């Protein structure tokens, strides 16, 4: 089971001047930080990922370009370690910032995969040895000492719906994050010496 949720979001503002857009997005970012703080998200678990200001244009049917203002955007990456309250944190941020916010990503993640990796490694070694023994039997030889071992580890998420409405009537407007499962895999390459069994 995932032990955290990755929550990436952006706040944005469109104003007539770049300074106005920057000031507005700074205020929105402050509201988002306040919502995270109110939700007891540790400051070490969120960070600014990007900050940009650029002109925004409209185009007429004859292709004439017209400056309509400047768009400022600030993006955040947040790690929510309390998975039971992840939906509440998302709702708090959305409520605080309002419509000037986009959710860029909301996905369950595994921070501590040590136990799962150890189990996967044990299973991989057992399978490797069984396969080597099968080859030795087919060749009519014995399995000797291990010559070398190499390991390749990876972790990947099994696709799962991450957002759904609460089932209780009084919670129908709440965001619920479904954790689903994640798969941790370990690939091992083991080489054995083969010895004559006669």
Q: Please tell me whether residue 74 adopts helix, strand or coil conformation.
A: strand
Question: Do 122 and 99 fall into the same domain?
Answer: no
Indicate the burial class of 20 (C-beta count within 10 angstroms; 0-12, 13-18, 19 or more): middle
Question: Do 163 and 102 fall into the same domain?
Answer: no
Give per-residue pLDDT as tens, 55-71.
Answer: 999 888 888 888 999 99
Residue 154: other Cβ atoms inside 10 A:
11
> Which of 46, 74, 109 is at the close of a domain?
109
User: Is residue 188 a contact partner of residue 121, using CB atoms and an 8 Å limit?
Assistant: yes
Give per-residue pLDDT as tens, 159-198.
Answer: 443 344 343 444 557 888 888 888 888 898 999 998 886 6
Question: Do 23 and 100 fall into the same domain?
Answer: yes
Task: List the chain pLDDT tens, one digit each, 198 residues.
Answer: 888 999 999 999 999 999 999 999 999 999 999 999 999 999 999 999 999 999 999 888 888 888 999 999 999 999 999 999 999 999 999 999 999 999 999 999 888 878 888 888 899 999 999 999 999 899 889 998 999 999 876 655 444 433 443 434 445 578 888 888 888 888 989 999 988 866
Question: Do 121 and 141 fall into the same domain?
Answer: yes
> Distance from CA of residue 140 to its chain's centroid?
49
The range of the structural domain enclosing residue 187 comes to 114-196
> Which of 109, 142, 174 is at the close of a domain?
109
Question: Do 101 and 182 fall into the same domain?
Answer: no
Tokens, residue 90: 């998302």
Domain count, the chain: 2
């Amino acid at each position: 089971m995932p032990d955290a949720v990755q929550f990436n979001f952006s706040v944005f503002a469109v104003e007539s001047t770049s300074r106005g857009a920057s000031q507005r997005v700074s205020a929105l970012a402050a509201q988002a930080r306040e919502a995270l703080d109110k939700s007891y998200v540790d400051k070490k678990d969120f960070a600014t990922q990007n900050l940009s200001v650029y002109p925004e244009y409209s185009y007429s049917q004859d292709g004439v370009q017209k400056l309509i203002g400047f768009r400022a955007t600030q993006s955040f990456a947040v790690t929510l370690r309390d998975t039971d309250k992840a939906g509440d944190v998302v709702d708090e941020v959305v409520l605080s910032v309002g419509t000037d916010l986009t959710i860029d990503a909301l996905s369950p993640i595994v921070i501590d995969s040590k136990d799962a990796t150890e189990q996967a490694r044990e299973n991989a070694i057992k399978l490797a040895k069984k396969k080597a023994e099968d080859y030795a039997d087919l060749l009519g030889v014995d399995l000797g000492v291990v010559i070398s071992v190499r390991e390749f580890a990876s972790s990947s998420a099994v696709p799962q719906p991450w957002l759904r409405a609460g089932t209780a009537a009084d919670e129908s407007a709440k965001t619920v994050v479904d954790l689903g499962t994640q798969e941790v895999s370990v690939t091992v390459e083991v080489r054995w010496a083969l010895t004559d069994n006669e």
